[in-house]
Amino acid sequence: MPSRLQEAAKMYETLKTDFAKKTPDLEKCSLHLRNLKIALTQLKFLPSDKNSYSDQEFVLARNVLEIGAQLSIRKKDIPAFERYMSQLKCYYLDYVTEVGIFESPYKQELLGLNLLCLLAQNRVADFHTELERLPAADIQNNEYIKHPVAIEQYLMEGNYNKLFLAKGNVPAESYNFFIDILLGTIRDEIAACMEKSYKNILFSEALRMLYFEDQAEMNNYATKKGWKLESDKCFHFNTSKQNDDVRSLPSGDLAQQMIDYARELEMII
């Protein structure tokens, strides 16, 4: 084994040990990772010719990128996670069939995380593009891939109840990061609809509609939204703003657009 590869492998074991701790020092792991990536530049970090790298180099580079992706989730750094995944997909989906290296045990988990990341950012088209690259067997049977696929289906159906229940049934702890982002976005959309639809709403009803299980969480959310709980145990919304919004609707223009659309549709048929 070449000395550069030995040195990089030793650095990787140190990083792996530190990151595997129950409460790892994320900054220390980030420093190890940075130094390790520099060391990997002396090796074939991203192979392009099957005769230009060894199996050990291939596996080491892939393993380092996997820790980088997992560390990014721990640090809640989505851009960094996306950068690591863009490199990892080459190892997972392109070169692996060429070199015949054994499959990584983290492959499906990270590919599923990547799908969930896209959903959390409402990048549905990119989600389907990535999904098409995966084998049908994985989509149907692998728990890490089935989970984001089910989440996307619930979103399309508007089945928010199942979405919130899915938080308690994630295939890996790392999935909770993107699930929380997704559920937070959905909760904000529901709250916005409540503000437009109701003059006031009971605390207990708001708790149910926003899928909170704890009253303290509901109170914290209401405070962030600027909602005040009155003596009648209701949240009262700014009805004057609602009326202004209603009056500002260009109803005549909207009706004319719908008539024109119907006329054009009739001509097509």
For residue 13, the model assigns a pLDDT of: 93
Q: Is residue 168 part of a domain?
A: no
Residue 196 included in any domain? no
Spell out the long-range contacts of 151-159 with Cβ–Cβ below 8 A and sequence spacing 24 or more: 151/116, 151/119, 151/179, 151/182, 152/115, 152/119, 152/124, 152/127, 155/119
What percentage of the chain carries pLDDT values higher than 90?
53
Bridge partner residues of 236 (DSSP): 200
- The domain of 70 spans 1-104
What number is the average pLDDT over the span 126-150?
Answer: 93
Q: What is the pLDDT of residue 173?
A: 92
Beta carbons within 8 Å of 58's beta carbon, 6+ residues apart: 44, 47, 91, 95, 99, 101
Task: Report if residue 114 sits inside a domain.
Answer: no
pLDDT of 3 reads 80
Task: Output the pLDDT for position 78.
Answer: 96
Overall average pLDDT of the 82-101 stretch: 79
As a whole number, the mean pLDDT across the chain is 86
Number of domains into which the chain is organized = 1
Residue 119 covered by a domain? no
Query: What pLDDT sits at residue 55?
Result: 77
Q: What is the largest CA-CA distance in the chain?
A: 77
- Give residue 259's pLDDT: 80
CA distances from 56 to 5, 37, 52, 102, 252 (A): 8, 15, 12, 11, 69
CA neighbours closer than 13 Å in the CB half-sphere of residue 7: 12
* Average pLDDT value for residue range 243-253: 57
pLDDT at 1 over 50: no
pLDDT at 267 over 80: no
Give the pLDDT score at 165. Answer: 86
Judging by beta carbons within 10 Å of its beta carbon (0-12, 13-18, 19+), is residue 69 exposed, middle or buried? buried
| Confidence at residue 69, expressed as pLDDT on a 0 to 100 scale | 96
- Tell me the per-residue pLDDT of 36-63, one tens digit each, with 9 for 90 and over: 988 888 876 655 555 556 778 888 889 9
DSSP output for 222-262: HHHHT--B-TTSEEE--HHHHHHHHHTS-HHHHHHHHHHHH
pLDDT at 239: 57
- Asked, for residue 25, whether it belongs to a domain, the answer is yes
The rounded distance, in Å, linking the Cα atoms of 108 and 112 is: 6
73-87 pLDDT per residue, tens: 999 999 999 999 999
